[in-house]
Amino acid sequence: MAVLVTGGAGYIGSHMALALLDSGQTPVVLDNLSTGFRWAVPDGVAFYEGDMGDGALVDRICAEQSIDAIIHFAAKIVVPESVSDPLGYYLNNTVKARGLIESAVRNKVRHFIFSSTAAVYGDVQTNPVTEDDVLNPVSPYGRSKLMTEWILEDTAKAHDMKYVILRYFNVAGADPQGRSGQSTANATHLIKVAAQAALGMRKGMDVYGTDYPTPDGTCVRDYIHVADLARAHLDALAYLRAGGECLKANCGYGRGYSVKEVIDVVKKMSGVDFETRVVGRRPGDPPAIVASNGRATGTLGWKPEHDDLEHIVDNALTWEKRLHNRRP
C-alpha cells in the first residue's frame, strides 16, 4: 500500500516523502507546483502534477497506486496574505480540502492525516496551549484550517475513516542530510529570512513590531525542526494503522523564542551582524504561542530528536547555501 502526500514537492511535504522512504514505505506525491519544486520530489517517487481538488485525478491516483492513507499538506500558509486574500485561502485550504476528503471517502481511504496549525487558537491567554483550549483563530488562514478540521470530524462520524489532525507550531530548519529544505524564494519564515540576510541574499530584514506584551517586545514562537515534524506524521500513520481513534495533537517543543532571540542565534551561527529594521506589526500575529505536546509524545509516542535552536539554524543556513549554489 502507498501513502498519498499532497503538496509533496513543497517544504514540509518533501521531508515527509523522504521520511516515508527512509522508513521503507511508498510515498506518492501530488503537487500543482505553485510553490513546490519538481526537483524536491525524491528520485523514484511517483509524481502527479495537478490539484488536490481535482477529484478525477485523485481517483486515478488511488486506483493506480493502491493508496491506503493520505497525508495532506497542500495549502496556502501566509497569515498576512490571508488577510488580504481571504477568498483565495478559503478556496484553497477549505473548499479544495473538502473535495480531497470526499475523494478519500469515495476511494475507501481509511486513514487521513491533516496538517493544521497553531493559528486555530488565535490570541491565546495562557501558554503552553493545549488541544482542548478555546479555538479562536484571528486570521482567514487559521479559520480556513479550522473549517477543514470540522469537515474531517463530521466526515469521520459518517464514514469509515479515522484521522489525525496535527497542529503545527513554527516549522523551521532543513533535512540534516541536506536533501531538502525551505526553497520558496519569497518565503516569510523567520529563520529562512534571517538566514538569507546573513548570507547576503537580502539586504537585512524587517522586525514586525517591538511593542508586544512579551519580555523583549517581539513575538514569541515555538520552533519545531521539520525532520521532527515529519517524524510526528510517521508516528500518526502508525497509530492509525494500529487501530487508533481520531486524534488532534500539537506539534511543538513546549518552549518559545522571541524574534530577537532567533535573530541573535542566526547572527551567532553565521558570524554575520546583518541589519534589522523595526517596522509595524503584521495583521493576524498573536504576541506569543507555545505548544503543549503531551498528546503527541504520549498517545503517538513521538520523540523529537532535533530540539535545539542552534541546530535548527545551522541546518537552515547549510541548506540556504546549497540552494543558492544550485540556482543559475
Among 11, 48, 90, 141, the one annotated catalytic: 141
> Coil, strand, or helix at residue 63?
helix
Beta carbons of 99 and 72 less than 8 angstroms apart: no
- Whether 141 is catalytic is yes
Angle at 66 between CA 63 and CA 43, to 5 degrees: 105
- The number of beta carbons lying within 10 Å of the beta carbon of residue 222 is 25
Give the up-direction half-sphere exposure of residue 306: CA atoms within 13 A in the CB hemisphere.
26
Strands annotated E in the chain: 2-6, 27-31, 46-49, 67-72, 111-117, 162-168, 170-172, 205-208, 220-221, 223-225, 247-251, 257-258, 276-279, 288-289
Classify strands 257-258 and 220-221 as parallel, antiparallel or unpaired: antiparallel
Tell me which amino acid residue 41 is.
V
Q: Which cell goes with 249?
A: 495533537
Residues with catalytic roles: 141
